[in-house]
Amino acid sequence: MKRSFQMILALAMIVVLTLPAAAQDAEKKKKKRKKGDRSNQAVAALMKKLENAGLSEEQLGKIKVAGKEFTPKFAALAAKRREAIGPDAFKAMAAARKAATDAGKKGKELQEATLGALSEEQREKFVALQKEQQALTSALRQKVAAIVGPEKAKELKLTRGGKAKGKGKGKKKKKADN
């Protein structure tokens, strides 16, 4: 009797000690899966921004529906980009971007250096697909702005609230005196 009790106790201790390790392994696998799925970054970033914005449950529900509507569109666009550009070109772009970042380039210089790794044909395709993605992101933001209302949309910077940045009237010409 005493011996069987010791065996049960030993098995229980083994289970207790190995359970946290198994849970950590499962958690690591989940994180790895999430990292690989980048097809809906725009939707995920917007949802993360809106979760802490103090919106009602009804609004959040409508926004989640809109996000689910746009997720396959972003995924299709990402697949189209991968097919048009190719994995080797993406690797070359990543290497060029890293080199340009290490050289201290920022903004447009960094983007030009990154796109410089592409052939002219690939570059045209990439820029066209990038414009498609911008239009899709803009449509998503407009839909969310319609759900939350104009004041909250302006507060969350979903809309620009007037003129687009850099699209002013420009410099006024001086009139010559007659």
Segments making up each domain of the chain, as ranges: 56-158
Q: What is the pLDDT of residues 53-89, one digit of tens each?
A: 777 888 888 888 888 888 888 888 888 888 888 888 8
In sequence order, the 6+-apart residues with CB closer than 8 A to the CB of 38 are: 78
Distance CA 59, CA 67 (A): 12
Q: pLDDT below 70 — which residues of the chain?
A: 26, 28-39, 159-178
- What would the two tokens of residue 32 be? 């790895």
The CA-atom distances, in angstroms, between 95 and each of 52, 92, 98, 123 are 36, 5, 5, 16
Distance CA 40, CA 44 (A): 6
Give the distance between the most distant pair of CA atoms in the chain.
118
Q: What is the pLDDT of residues 42-52, one digit of tens each?
A: 777 777 777 77
